[in-house]
Every structure is written in structure tokens, then in C-alpha cells.
């Protein structure tokens, strides 16, 4: 019988397998949880029962021939792709796989500088060389936007030997570049188009969202099913068009992917894909309704600016993802990270992130109307209790980097550790970023400037969680000798 | 045949009332609503299976949550009541001629409809011309109010389900903002007895203490609530609940009450040592 989107082959195989009551003399050693009762009581027997190893009835992620193959085919269909892979190492592994597919050592790749660290990590792994397109910056909000088509065009003209163009669709804040035109341009110059859709799963299933990578004709996309798609943390899809050699892609994925893929993650991808394929339209309509309601209520508080499609400028903000609830906080005299901390410490509300000027609350179908009311009221109270005049606030979120070395060269080069104040003028050999959002302030190979050090100090002072450096306290920076 | 209503007060303790007959059952957008009739307690209302009120002992709750703040405030004119779809608080408030306006905010329209039909003993004054009913989430309603009310009475259900938002700091902060400079907020404050109720009680007390300059707790005995020992919160911008009570003035009004009197008013703020300790722990 032919499979359709109502099927979830991995999930169905696991249910069947559970009924077979097979005696396990294989790994995992907890043996359906019996060997680790405390863990079983914590996670539940049902969960431990399906934490099993690859075997004939359950297929093998490294070399899928039966139920995983079927599930991947259904996923490809759901994402309008020629092929899809289940990824169990997070969207990080998907981003790295698509870059490793496109680029070998020394190959150039055109990308916006506000990529996630996973993309620059891939450059260290492969030795590919980035050609950064500086994203446009909205001076009012201080956030990095999408890439303008003319800047991409210029980068392509100046680097006709580049192998690929990478695009965020959308950015963490919900901003989309003109993916269709960038794809046309790249293809006209024989470059692959790689899309980081960590925040764009819903584009494939909802209505009136920005165009998805596959629909725009892009070649490969990394899709975080575990964000708006509802699967378990760390599970993700890599989807690709006809022009991509899927068998070679599998080899690339297998270079770094585990050989013991978790069936908890795989089944969660399978079930979530089915759910979105069947009900995604209603699910995301509800999500957008909640986000729109929250936006209008937050804007009526005054001071806060919950932005949306009015930002669209036809180029670097070609489209906006209205399911995102991004709020600009500086007019109430508080940095985004301060509002983020107040929400958690004072009101027991955890949001996705706060940076210098913005917060992002992640809205999904799991939210309840009354929780949205709490979030809005808490923001209103934070303004009343802690609001200040907006003076003395650093607004700049994005500083254009000066790239002195390729990331891989800088990362592996001989280096010396300097106190932050002595670092300006040197070339950095490591990352510095606030996490989340995980977009590097400094990446390996970039010139350290006083402006960047000031920014790092300001972010630290405001309470951003900084990561990336070898020095866990971010007091010192590794720079090239 | 025996038909019993049973509510679990803790995982190990149950409370049961023999039911004569069920008068109503229905589901609203928010919760399941039931009304039963019983020999011992008369009619009683439950939401999602939790006891809200019985005809026999509702007077204790409604008198204590209403008369305490009204007796302290020297001139209560504008009053906001949140929750309270059964109308019991409204019944008590409308006995004061000096009260000019009562806004009632109830999230669930069906609760009011059912109470009007099956519980006329509490819902009897919902048609008073001073009463304005808003079917809205209390958290949302209060957010837009500023310097408006003399007294706010928070007659909430428990801190899970639709009433959850009425136990949050953002809500108490919004109430502070919505009150006039000498305003008083009184709230249903859970019980100190069973562990889980006590933890909820401490959590909400902590949040109120952080939101108001004066915050005291008083008690009453309510037989059909878990453990029977129930607390109310008295939070205020200016008036002390006992020192600022003008007993003579209240007694001159000549209101006939079954539970409340001005001697009991002062006494209700004297708490058992273990409760005082719990409150101190979070102050």
C-alpha cells in the first residue's frame, strides 16, 4: 500500500516493535529502562521502551532502506523537496552538512555576516573561505536585516569562483531577504543556494508566510523542526532540491553524524511532520493570531515597539514572519536583556532571548491565551516599575567585521591570550557571541577593534550570556601572534 | 442508591458530600460547570470538579472577603470584583448605599448564566443597576486601569486552570496601578494547611508583599474547602486593616450579618504561629 502523509513509518514501526516484546541483548544497556529505574521513573517507561538501537525492523539512519527511508520520502514530499534527511545532531549538523557538501578547502562561500555560529564552525571544519555580505542595518531598531539583492549581486560579480550563497530565511527576528531573486542570481552564476531555515519550519505549512527555500528554488535548506515544528530538541531536517546529489549528501552527513541515532528524536520528527502536513494550516493560523494579538496589545502599552510587516522595504526586509514576536525595548529605557531578566526573575516568564535592544518571545500552538495575557501584563508592569528615560542606551547591534584571515587558518594558527583591553589591533582566533541568539560578535580571523571590545563590555554589563572564548570569564581573548 | 460528590483535597485525602440530584452539567470554553443539590449543604457549585460554594457555608466566605475591606475604607465608591461569577460578593456589596459603582469581571459567561438560574441565593443582586458585568480575562481588564478603584476584590478559583493569572505578580502589580492612592485589594489567599495549598499560599503572599506597602493576612473557617482553614489577603496602599477600622461607623450602618462582626474583624488577623511563620518566611 502506498504511503501518504497520514503515515508515520518510524513511529508505526516502533509501536509494532514494542508489541513484539523482543528480548534485548543489544545496546542500550539500560534494557528498556529496567537497568536504570531512577531514570525510568523520571522520563517514563514509555519513553525508555522506545530508546532502542538500530536493527532490521527499525532501519538504520546511516544507511536507510526501509522505515527510515519511507519516513524521509514522506518528509521530502511534505517539504516540497526532492530528498530529505532526518538529522539528530541539531540544525547545527544540518547547516554544517550543507556547507561541507558545497565547499571544499579553499572554496569561497558568500554569506551574510549575521549567520549562526554553526555556519562559521563549518568553515573551520572545511577550510572554506567566507565572502561576507554585510547585512543592511535598521538604525532605529539596531538589528541586522537581510541581505540586499544588489549587495549579493556585487559579491557574486567580485567572486565568480564562489561555490555557494547562503541565506537566512528568516533571521532570528523574523526578517527575510528576497530569496527568489537571490536564488536566480546565484543559479545564473552556477552557485548553489544554501538556506538556514532554523526559524522557518512553518513557512512550509502555514498560509501567508514568506516563501520557503524549496518553493523559492533554493538547493538545500536546514530546517529546525524542533523550533516551530514541535519535535524534540536536537531533531531537525535537511531538505534539498533535484540538483543535489542526495547519495553524496548522505556520505557527507555520515562524516560527522552519530551511528547510534536516537529513536526518540527520529520518531518525534516523523510524528511532527505528519501533524504539520495534516494540520499545519490551522496550527499556524492560530499561532499567528496569538502573535498578532500580543503585538497589538504590547504596542498599546506605549514605549515598546512590537514590529511587523510595516518594516518591509522591498529589499533587505523583503518579507517578515508574523509568527515571531520581536519587541524593541529601548524606548522604555531598558536593554532587551534587562527586560528578559526581569521577566524571568520577577514574573516567572522565560522568553527566547533578549539582546541589546530587543526581546523575542517564541509563540507557538502550545501557548494559551491566558499565558499571552500574562506576558503582556508583565511587560506593562516592567515598564511601570523599572522603566527609565531612554538615554545612554547603546543601540548598535551589528558591527561590520574586518576579515583578516580565513576562519580555519585563524582557528588553528599559533595564538596568544591577551586581556580584552589589549586585544584591539590584533586578529582574533576564536568566537565571541551572546547566546542566544548565537550570532558571533567576533569570529576567528576577524580584526579586534575598540568598538567591538566596548560592545562586549556593554553586553556583559547588561547581563548577556557571552560564550565562545577559551577563557570562560571572557576577560581574555586569543589572538594571532 | 447512593450518589456522592467527591473532591480530592490531597492525593491522600478525599472530601465527599452525598448528592441528592444533579441540577446542571455543562462545559464552557474554559471549564466544566456542575450544580448539585444535597441534603446537608443545599445546592453547591463546582468548577472542573472543585468546590466553589455551597448554600450552607457560602455566607462565611462572601461576608469575610467583602465586609473586611469595606469596613476599613472610609469612603468606598468604585469597586472592582474579579471572578465571583456566582454573585455572592456582589450580593454583599450592594447592601452598602454608599457604593456607587461595581465592575464585575468574570472570564466565563456561562458561570454567571448557570448561577442566575440555579443559585439565586448568591446571584440575586447581579441585576442591581450599580453592577456592570464584563466577560473578560481579569489579567487583561486590569492592565488598562489606572487610579480608578477604591477597592478591588479578587474572588478567584485556585491557582491552576483559568484563575492561574490572578495569582501572578504582574496581576497584583496591575491591581496596585488600578487602585487610587488609598486603595485596598483583598484576595482569596488559599489555605495554609495541606502542603500544596500552603506552597501556593506562600507564593502569592510573597508576590503581594512585593507589590504593596501594607500586606496582611486574615482567616476564616470554611467547612467545605480543603482543611476548612482558609485565608484572605489584605493589601493596601494606606490603611492598616485593624488600626484603621472604624467599628462604630460600620455598626451604625446596622447591616445584619451571619459571620462578620467588627470584633471578629480584628480577631481574624490574629493567626496561628505556624501560619505566621510561613508568611514571615516569604516576607
pLDDT at A137: 81
CB A315 within 8 A of CB A149: yes
Strand order in the sheet with A324-328: A305-306, A324-328, A358-362, A353-354
Q: Tell me how close the Cα of A64 comes to any Cα of chain B, in angstroms.
A: 45
The verdict on A428 touching B (C-beta cutoff 8 Å) is: no
Question: What does pTM read for this prediction?
Answer: 0.89
**Interface touch B170/A347, C-beta < 8 Å:** yes
Size of interface A-B (CB pairs under 8 A): 49
Report the 3 state secondary structure along chain A: CCCCCCCCHHHHHHHHHHHHCCCCCCCCCCCCCCCCHHHHHHHCHHHHHCCCCCEHHHECCCCCCCHHHHHHHHHHHHCCCCEEEEECCHHHHHHHHHHHHHCCCCCEEEEECCCCHHHHHHHHHHCCEEEEECCCEECCCCEECCCCHHHHHHHHHHCCCCCEEEEECCCCCCEECCHHHHHHHHHHCCCEEEEEECCCHHHHCCCCCCCCCCCCCCCEEEECHHHHCCCCCCCEEEEECCCCCHHHHHHHHHHHCCCCCCHHHHHHHHHHHHHHHHHHHHHHHHHHHHHHHHHHHHHHHCCCEECCHHHCCCCCCCEECCCEEEEECHHHCCCHHHHHHHHHHHHCCCCCEECCCEEEEECCCCCCHHHHHHHHHHHHHHHHHHCCCCCCCCCCCCCCCCECCCHHHHHHCCEEEEEHHHCCCCEECCCEEECCCCCEEECCCEECCHHHHHHHHHHHHHCCCEECCCCCCCCEEEEEC
Q: Which residues of A touch B142 (CB under 8 A)?
A: 377
pLDDT at A145: 87
pLDDT tens, per residue, chain A with 481 residues:
689 999 999 999 999 999 998 999 999 999 999 999 999 999 999 999 999 999 999 999 999 999 999 999 999 999 999 999 999 999 999 999 999 999 999 999 999 988 888 999 999 999 999 999 988 888 778 788 899 999 999 999 999 999 999 999 999 899 999 999 999 999 999 999 999 999 999 999 999 999 999 999 999 999 999 999 999 999 999 999 999 999 999 999 999 999 999 999 999 999 999 999 999 999 999 999 999 999 999 999 999 999 999 999 999 999 999 999 999 999 999 999 999 999 999 999 999 999 888 999 999 878 888 999 999 999 999 999 999 886 667 766 677 888 899 899 999 999 999 999 999 999 999 999 887 777 888 999 999 999 999 988 988 888 888 888 999 888 999 999 8
Test mutation, B82, B169, B170, chain A, max A CBs within 10 A: B170
The verdict on B54 touching A (C-beta cutoff 8 Å) is: no
pLDDT at A395: 67
Test mutation, B137, B173, B175, B177, chain A, max A CBs within 10 A: B173
A60: left (phi over 0), alpha (psi -120 to 50) or beta: beta
Annotation says B57 is catalytic: no
Annotated catalytic residue within B57, B103, B150, B155: B155
pLDDT at B164: 87
**Interface touch A381/B164, C-beta < 8 Å:** no
Q: Which residues of B touch A377 (CB under 8 A)?
A: 139-140, 142-143, 165, 168, 170-171, 173-174
The verdict on A370 touching B (C-beta cutoff 8 Å) is: yes
**Interface touch B170/A380, C-beta < 8 Å:** yes
**Interface touch A377/B177, C-beta < 8 Å:** no
CA distance A269 to B268: 57
CA distance A237 to A79: 10
pLDDT at A265: 97
The verdict on A346 touching B (C-beta cutoff 8 Å) is: yes
**Interface touch A374/B165, C-beta < 8 Å:** yes
pLDDT at B205: 95
Which of B143, B162, B164 is the closest to A380 by Cβ? B143
Test mutation, A349, A379, A381, chain B, max B CBs within 10 A: A381
The verdict on B136 touching A (C-beta cutoff 8 Å) is: no
ipTM exceeds 0.90 = no
CB B193 within 8 A of CB B221: no
The verdict on B77 touching A (C-beta cutoff 8 Å) is: no
Q: Grid coordinates representing B143?
A: 492592565
pLDDT at A460: 87
Q: Which residues of A touch B137 (CB under 8 A)?
A: 369-370, 373
The verdict on A254 touching B (C-beta cutoff 8 Å) is: no
pLDDT tens, per residue, chain B with 283 residues:
899 999 999 999 999 999 999 999 999 999 999 999 999 999 999 999 999 999 999 999 999 999 999 999 999 999 999 998 999 999 999 999 999 999 999 999 999 999 999 999 999 999 999 999 999 999 999 999 999 999 999 998 888 777 889 999 999 999 999 999 999 999 999 999 999 999 999 999 999 999 999 999 999 999 999 999 999 999 999 999 999 999 999 999 999 999 999 999 999 999 999 999 999 999 9
Amino acid at each position: 500500500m502506498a504511503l501518504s502523509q497520514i503515515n508515520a513509518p518510524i513511529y508505526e514501526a516502533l509501536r509494532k516493535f514494542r508489541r513484539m516484546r523482543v528480548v534485548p541483548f543489544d545496546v542500550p544497556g539500560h534494557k528498556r529502562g529496567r537497568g536504570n529505574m531512577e531514570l525510568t521513573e523520571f522520563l517514563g517507561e514509555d519513553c525508555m521502551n522506545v530508546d532502542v538501537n538500530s536493527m532490521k525492523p527499525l532501519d538504520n539512519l546511516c544507511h536507510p532502506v526501509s522505515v527510515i527511508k519511507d519516513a524521509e520520502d514522506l518528509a521530502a514530499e511534505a517539504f516540497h523537496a526532492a530528498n530529505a534527511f532526518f538529522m539528530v545532531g541539531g540544525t547545527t549538523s544540518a547547516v554544517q552538512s550543507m556547507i561541507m557538501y558545497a565547499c571544499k578547502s579553499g572554496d569561497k562561500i558568500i554569506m551574510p555576516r549575521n549567520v549562526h555560529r554553526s555556519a562559521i564552525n563549518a568553515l573551520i571544519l572545511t577550510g572554506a573561505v567566507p565572502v561576507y555580505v554585510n547585512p543592511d542595518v535598521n538604525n532605529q531598531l539596531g538589528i541586522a536585516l537581510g541581505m540586499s539583492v544588489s549587495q549579493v549581486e556585487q559579491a557574486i560579480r567580485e567572486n565568480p569562483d564562489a561555490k555557494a550563497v547562503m541565506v537566512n530565511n528568516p533571521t532570528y527576528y523574523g526578517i527575510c531577504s528576497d530569496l527568489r531573486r537571490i536564488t536566480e542570481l546565484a543559479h545564473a552564476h552556477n552557485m548553489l543556494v544554501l538556506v538556514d531555515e532554523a526559524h522557518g519550519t512553518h513557512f512550509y505549512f502555514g498560509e501567508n508566510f514568506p516563501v520557503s527555500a524549496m518553493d523559492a528554488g533554493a538547493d538545500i535548506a536546514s530546517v529546525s523542526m524542533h523550533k516551530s515544528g514541535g519535535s524534540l530538541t536536537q531533531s531537525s531536517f535537511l531538505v534539498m532540491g533535484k540538483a543535489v546529489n542526495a547519495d553524496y549528501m548522505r556520505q557527507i552527513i555520515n562524516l560527522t553524524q552519530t551511528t547510534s541515532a536516537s529513536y526518540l528524536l527520529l520518531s518525534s520528527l516523523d510524528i511532527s511532520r505528519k501533524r504539520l502536513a495534516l494540520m499545519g494550516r490551522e496550527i499556524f493560523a492560530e499561532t499567528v493570531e496569538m502573535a498578532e494579538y500580543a503585538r497589538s496589545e504590547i504596542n498599546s502599552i506605549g514605549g515598546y515597539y512590537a514590529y511587523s510587516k510595516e518594516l518591509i522595504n522591498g529589499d533587505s526586509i523583503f518579507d517578515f514572519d508574523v509568527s515571531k514576536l520581536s519587541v524593541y525595548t529601548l524606548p522604555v529605557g531598558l536593554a532587551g536583556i534587562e527586560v528578559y531578566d526581569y521577566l524571568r526573575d520577577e514574573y516567572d516568564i522565560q522568553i527566547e532571548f533578549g539582546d541589546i535592544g530587543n526581546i523575542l518571545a517564541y509563540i507557538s500552538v502550545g501557548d494559551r491565551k491566558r499565558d499571552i495575557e500574562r506576558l503582556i501584563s508583565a511587560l506593562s508592569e516592567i515598564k511601570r516599575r523599572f522603566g527609565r528615560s531612554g538615554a545612554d542606551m547603546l543601540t548598535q547591534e551589528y558591527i561590520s567585521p574586518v576579515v583578516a584571515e580565513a576562519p580555519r587558518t585563524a582557528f588553528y594558527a599559533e595564538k596568544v591570550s591577551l586581556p580584552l583591553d589589549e586585544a584591539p589591533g590584533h586578529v582574533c582566533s576564536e568566537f565571541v557571541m551572546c547566546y542566544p541568539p548565537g550570532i558571533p560578535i567576533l569570529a576567528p580571523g576577524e580584526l579586534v577593534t575598540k568598538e567591538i571590545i566596548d560592545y562586549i563590555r556593554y553586553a556583559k554589563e547588561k547581563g548577556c550570556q557571552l560564550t565562545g572564548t577559551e577563557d570562560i570569564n571572557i576577560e581574555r581573548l586569543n589572538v594571532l601572534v | 442508591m447512593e450518589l456522592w460528590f467527591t473532591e480530592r483535597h490531597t492525593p491522600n485525602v478525599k472530601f465527599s458530600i452525598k448528592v441528592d440530584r444533579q441540577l446542571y452539567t455543562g462545559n464552557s470554553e474554559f471549564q466544566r460547570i456542575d450544580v448539585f443539590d444535597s441534603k446537608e449543604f443545599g445546592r453547591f457549585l463546582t468548577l472542573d470538579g472543585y468546590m466553589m460554594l455551597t448554600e450552607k457555608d457560602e455566607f462565611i466566605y462572601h461576608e469575610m472577603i467583602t465586609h473586611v475591606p469595606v469596613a476599613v475604607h472610609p469612603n468606598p465608591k468604585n469597586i472592582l470584583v474579579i471572578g465571583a461569577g456566582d454573585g455572592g460578593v456582589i450580593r454583599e456589596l450592594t447592601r452598602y448605599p454608599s457604593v456607587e459603582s461595581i465592575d464585575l469581571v468574570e472570564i466565563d459567561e456561562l458561570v454567571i448564566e448557570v448561577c442566575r438560574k440555579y443559585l439565586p441565593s448568591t446571584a440575586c443582586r447581579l441585576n442591581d443597576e450599580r453592577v456592570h458585568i464584563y466577560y473578560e480575562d481579569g489579567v487583561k481588564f486590569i492592565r488598562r486601569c489606572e487610579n480608578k478603584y477604591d477597592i478591588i476584590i479578587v474572588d478567584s478559583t485556585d491557582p491552576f486552570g483559568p484563575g492561574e493569572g490572578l495569582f501572578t505578580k504582574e496581576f497584583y502589580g496591575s491591581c496596585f496601578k488600578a487602585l487610587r492612592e488609598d486603595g485596598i485589594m483583598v484576595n482569596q489567599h488559599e489555605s495554609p494547611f495541606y502542603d500544596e495549598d500552603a506552597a501556593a499560599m506562600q507564593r502569592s503572599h510573597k508576590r503581594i508583599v512585593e507589590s504593596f506597602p501594607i500586606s496582611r493576612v486574615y482567616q476564616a473557617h470554611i467547612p467545605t474547602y480543603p482543611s476548612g482553614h482558609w485565608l484572605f489577603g489584605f493589601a493596601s496602599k494606606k490603611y492598616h486593616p485593624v488600626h484603621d477600622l472604624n467599628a462604630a461607623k460600620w455598626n451604625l450602618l446596622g447591616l445584619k450579618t451571619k459571620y462578620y462582626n467588627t470584633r471578629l474583624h480584628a480577631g481574624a488577623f490574629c493567626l496561628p504561629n505556624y501560619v505566621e511563620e510561613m508568611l514571615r518566611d516569604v516576607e
